[in-house]
Structure 1
Amino acid sequence: MIPSVNDDLSADIEIKKQPSLTYEIKIDKNKMGTYVEGIEAIKQSIYHIINTERYQHLIYSWNYGIELSDLFGKPITYCYPEIKRRITEALLQDDRIESLDSFEFDYSKGDVLVKFRAITTEGEIEIEKVVKIG
């Protein structure tokens, strides 16, 4: 028999979603801006995750970033599904990103251009990433 607990404290707890405020990074101007939130904060998070090589920076958790450097020199038939898997694995660590779809690949001179769509809690985002494999 499982004992029942009469706990009055849990009845008054209200869970609120915290805003995803973060400093805006203006990459093209090489400076920081004001705060951004919502879909702009998620876009910035996606940019940082897919441009940070996993296990290379001590300040980040081992769950943060993506592993792409070991794809250099591998056959294109191996790289396409592996890039898709690794991008999906890296981005789904963020609980604001619900799913990824519409992956498209284009190979040119040792670079793979990947285009895909992220479905987030705030809406859909179209993303492009260039992966060097040759």
Structure 2
Amino acid sequence: MIPSTVGFLELDFEIEEQPSQTYKMDLDGDSVRGFVDDQEAMKQTIFRILSTERYQYIIYPWYYGIETLDLYGEPVTYVCPELERRITEALLVDTRISSVTDFEHDLSVKGVVHTAFTVHTIYGEIRAEKGVNI
């Protein structure tokens, strides 16, 4: 028997935002224990998104992560604005993030662009950073 959708699409649906509670990652000890919520959960989300190379892991959808591999060997004048765009694009996929601003690039280490920025979330502002080898 073929399933029927008659009248199903006419029903009113209520969309609920899921809570941000997640497992707490201990980044120093490489373990997971306890739970975090709100701003601490957002810090972990930002870290995970910016630590995951896009298109490299089958477990993640194609919109998750950031592309940095193709920046190796490119001039700094290209990498800095491109990194800003890619960080912003990667983070704005999360609906809890409204904008990414205040980019600052540190070029003091040879071969590395270290970028610091502010992420504006529904839980407040979070200062974050990302380093890329060039």
Matches within 5 A, 1:80-95: 80-95=80-95
Q: Please give the per-residue CA displacement for 1:23-80, whole angstroms capped at 9, x wherever unaligned.
A: 1110101110111110111110000000100000000000000000110000000000
Offset of residue 18 of structure 1: 2.3
Identity of aligned residues (%): 51
Q: Within 2, Cα distance between the matches of 1:75 and 1:15?
A: 45
Which position in structure 1 is the counterpart of 2:100? 100
TM value normalised by structure 2: 0.87
TM value normalised by structure 1: 0.87
Which position in structure 2 is the counterpart of 1:125? 126
Q: Within 2, Cα distance between the matches of 1:32 and 1:116?
A: 26
Matches within 5 A, 1:1-134: 10=12, 15-107=15-107, 108-133=109-134
Query: Matched residue of 1:54: which SS?
Result: coil
Q: Within 2, Cα distance between the matches of 1:15 and 1:58?
A: 28
> What amino acid maps onto 2:91 in structure 1?
L
User: Unaligned stretches of 5+ in structure 2?
Assistant: 1-10
Which position in structure 1 is the counterpart of 2:8? none
What is the count of residue pairs matched by the alignment? Answer: 124
The alignment's C-alpha RMSD in Å is: 1.5
Q: Within 2, Cα distance between the matches of 1:15 and 1:96?
A: 15
Q: Within 2, Cα distance between the matches of 1:114 and 1:88?
A: 12
Q: Within 2, Cα distance between the matches of 1:25 and 1:106?
A: 27
Give the ranges of 4+ consecutive aligned residues of structure 1 lying more than 6 Å apart after TM superposition: none
